[in-house]
A and B are shown apart, each in its own frame.
Chain A
């Protein structure tokens, strides 16, 4: 029971992170900022789950990481989507849209 819940959350987090990287490479801090801004402060991503998610996505080959100078001219780890990552994003987005559409239908009728 517990597992399926985290799975769902994880899946969502993965989707969000991938989506955030669609616009271009970003470091972990930038990603949290983007999420906060884009979700109008509704979603606040815990760092505790962001970094494991990034490492997991990297391990799966959906994103790559490299060290680059940041805006404030310091070394930061930048993540970017790979080709496989782009495909995965498309798939996950579609799945999510189907799921949320279905959920909406259900909520509306009952």
Chain B
């Protein structure tokens, strides 16, 4: 084996040495034969002649010896490579254009693949493939009550462990700090870390003991990021007391780097600390994820109060199907034992792999196919260039074929050149992507700089780039190579222009490529235009509520240690003080027209899914006077009365879209609608509510997006520590801000405080609509890139055809055609291509836009103005690309052109 390798090694890399040896070996043989013949009595001269005669064709034999070494293919490849490199070096302009074009095409593909690669990375836990999610099929995002979790944890046999966690926001900081930092964290079961197979790098995680008695053990485990950030990597962190939302906790551990529970570490809401599940009752709720029960015992006592996210690790040998079946059986047992449970709600076990999510694939399909189109256009361009060059190299190729090179051999040589170009383009593309990837993530995760995530490409990125490069090399190289070596070509080694049949055939291919480029270009540009128009319209649009004279005031009294009567008193005093401020028209408690107010209201009868596939809330709880204060007009009926708010009556105000959707053409007032309220004492049975009013549509949930279904229910104030006021002003709200802040600080210096105008809220909401913005930026960038490449393509085709029709144009002019005729001839030809491409492209673009409109609510896929603008834009660019060569054609001097022949 070693000898085998050694020989091949020598054959490949010590070729000269090997040749010498072969010569020497043969010489020895020859001389031995001569000696023998001399010894047999021949004269030296005779012996020599005789021996040579017997030896025969030495070169042929040497060639056979070389073949026998079995490295001929590799050597030929090396030869092709060397030749290819020489060809590329000899045409630096051509090489540069091709490598640059490819770098753009491959670069955008690699950059987006890098991001895709990050998105599909498995959870940073041991054996992530066996971790599954467990959830209820309906209601409160599939969460479990504590008792249900314990039941499933103890009764199920499909899992080696079932863990529970609940997300919450905390205030971290000392009491002296006026504005403490908000961090996200999770309450977790004691087996959370061990089941996931993650370890602390310092200290320890929770014991069973620490997770057994509600409220007894104030201990906390920190994330690596929090430890490094806020605590500056304090080496004595273990045992240190820290304040969380005003309560003292002891740090017992720091988790390993990159662990953020089930969240993306890029997510700004990724948990930074973990508390024992049993501490849940002690900490307040921010209202963002869950709402607290009236009595803190109910966190662990009431079966109908769901707040836990449950995940499990499948036992070896158990599948998701097994687990699903078992959970269904257990759920039925539970429903029989406790009649208050809705038996229709099922339990399902689902994969945590994002790749099993259909929506994810839909988005990713766009993300992968859009840059793919750019690369395709780039390849068409290069194929066109190669076709033109093949024409120029016909003599060379013809000579090779005549001298006995097989067609396969020449194709291999041409393909080697293409692959070499592709390889260089791939390397340039990788560098380009590397540079691009450093900036791209900011589109996706605005706080990217804060995050420890690494974007360094791994082997998958390298493999992808290599594969894509080689694929494009074959794509753009194969057809020109096949064409250039066609057997009938040999007869045409002299001049192409004389061979009409061939010239026409070739131009069909080249024109076809140009048409395809225009079409593909539109496939990218039309959605880009639609998204752009969607965003522009959205920017300018009225959100449907007052934007200038409104102020949302959040305050928290966690640091002030108020009891409830004191907090109530504070609230009343604050409201009356604010009402007396100059410029303030009205102040109401609770409710906001934009996100951040009291949510947790949903219409279970009307299921609405957002991009991530989760059912989302589609309602707010608002106070009496809300609609007047927020400036959302009521189109029919009325708002809520003080009485309705006080008794939390089952009444509801719906948006006009909702009314149209649920009861088209009918009177919505008086209709009944089932609503579910997170803060309605946790009842899982949703009450029927009567529609008492219809409000005008407003962008309540997402920036620039009217929710298809939206409802308002009366707001009930349950706690007085953490709440929001809505202030309507008669002047610009920004002018009032300092006065409002001063009024609160005067009453309580350590109150937590956040003042937000609708404009600021819209800025936050814009973050929520990152999807359309990213898609728009991406498709615009890619679309313009595609257009640039396609313009070059059209220019190339036209210029080529002009240069090859110089003779014909000369004759036309000699026969009386004037410049305008020639210009029309060339432009007409160019525009025929653009026209066909446009028709195909509009069809393709419309199809893609239709798909995107499923992802982005409110995007109209067939907006005629956008189509017109995009086509005109493309036509203008195409006109320029055709006009330049056409002008050159019109300047042809008939005499010169004819002499050219």
Contacts and interface: CB of A to CB of B under 8 A. Distances in A.
Contacts of B21: 67, 77
A51 interface: yes
B25 A47 contact: no
A19 B854 CA distance: 77
Contact of A76 (B22, B25, B69): B25
Given A75-B24, A76-B25, A77-B25, 6 more contacts: A47-B56, A48-B64, A56-B68, A56-B70, A70-B28, A74-B31
Nearest to B69: A59
Contacts of B31: 74
Given A46-B56, A48-B57, A61 B25 contact: no
Contacts of B7: 58-59
A109 interface: no
B3 A52 contact: no
Interface in B813-846: none
Interface of A: 27-29, 32, 46-49, 51-53, 55-56, 58-61, 64, 67, 70, 72, 74-77, 82
A61 B6 CA distance: 10
B4 A59 contact: yes
Contact of A61 (B4, B29, B55, B64): B4
B69 A29 contact: no
B12 to A, nearest CB: 12
Given A29-B32, A59-B8, A77-B21, A64 B61 contact: no
Contacts of A27: 25, 28-29
29 contacts: A27-B28, A27-B29, A28-B25, A29-B28, A29-B33, A32-B29, A46-B56, A47-B29, A47-B55, A47-B56, A48-B57, A48-B60, A51-B25, A51-B61, A51-B65, A52-B67, A52-B68, A53-B68, A55-B65, A56-B70, A59-B8, A59-B68, A59-B69, A59-B70, A67-B21, A70-B28, A72-B32, A72-B35, A75-B28
Contacts of A46: 56
Nearest 10 pairs of A and B residues by beta carbon: A52-B64, A55-B68, A56-B68, A61-B4, A29-B32, A55-B65, A77-B25, A52-B68, A48-B61, A29-B29
B620 to A, nearest CB: 80
Contacts of A29: 28-29, 32-33
Contacts of A55: 65, 68-69
Interface in B1-52: 1, 3-4, 7-8, 21-22, 24-26, 28-29, 31-33, 35
B54 interface: yes
Interface in B413-458: none
Contacts of A72: 32, 35
A74 B28 contact: yes
Contacts of A82: 3
A86 to B, nearest CB: 14
Contacts of A53: 68
A60 B65 contact: no
Interface centre among B31, B35, B61 (most CB of A within 10 A): B61
Contacts, number: 70
A56 B24 CA distance: 18
Contacts of B3: 58, 61, 64, 82
Interface in B779-834: none
Interface centre among A52, A53, A75 (most CB of B within 10 A): A52
Given A59-B8, A72-B35, A48 B68 contact: no
A72 B35 CA distance: 10
A72 B29 CA distance: 12
Interface of B: 1, 3-4, 7-8, 21-22, 24-26, 28-29, 31-33, 35, 54-57, 60-61, 64-65, 67-70
A65 to B, nearest CB: 9
A32 B28 CA distance: 13
A25 B32 CA distance: 17
A77 B57 CA distance: 21
A27 to B, nearest CB: 7
Contacts of B65: 51-52, 55
B670 to A, nearest CB: 93
Nearest to B70: A59
Interface centre among A47, A64, A82 (most CB of B within 10 A): A47
B67 to A, nearest CB: 7
Nearest to B58: A48
A60 B61 CA distance: 19
Contacts of B57: 48
Contacts of A60: 4
Interface centre among B21, B61, B65, B68 (most CB of A within 10 A): B68
B246 to A, nearest CB: 79
A47 B4 CA distance: 23
Contacts of B22: 51
Nearest to B6: A64
Contacts of A48: 55-57, 60-61, 64
A98 B537 CA distance: 89
A48 B60 CA distance: 8
A19 to B, nearest CB: 19
Nearest to B33: A29
Nearest to A52: B64
A100 B609 CA distance: 81
Contacts of B28: 27-29, 70, 74-77
Nearest to B8: A59
A47 B31 CA distance: 13
Contacts of B4: 59-61
A99 B803 CA distance: 69
Contacts of B67: 52
Nearest to B2: A61
B21 to A, nearest CB: 7
Nearest to A84: B1
A75 B22 CA distance: 12
A16 to B, nearest CB: 16
Nearest to B51: A47
B61 A47 contact: yes
A10 B70 CA distance: 16
A49 B64 CA distance: 8
B168 to A, nearest CB: 69
B835 to A, nearest CB: 56
A72 B64 CA distance: 28
Nearest to A61: B4
Interface centre among A49, A58, A67, A70 (most CB of B within 10 A): A58
Contacts of B1: 61
Given A61-B3, A64-B3, A75-B24, A28 B29 contact: yes
Nearest to A82: B3
Contacts of A47: 26, 29, 54-56, 61
A76 B55 CA distance: 18
Interface centre among B1, B54, B64 (most CB of A within 10 A): B64
A46 B60 CA distance: 13
B26 A51 contact: yes
Contacts of B25: 27-28, 51, 76-77
Nearest to A29: B32
A48 B22 CA distance: 13
A69 to B, nearest CB: 11
A58 B71 CA distance: 13
Nearest to A51: B65
Nearest to A67: B21
Nearest to B56: A48
Contacts of A58: 3, 7
A54 to B, nearest CB: 8
B138 to A, nearest CB: 69
A76 B32 CA distance: 10
A17 to B, nearest CB: 12
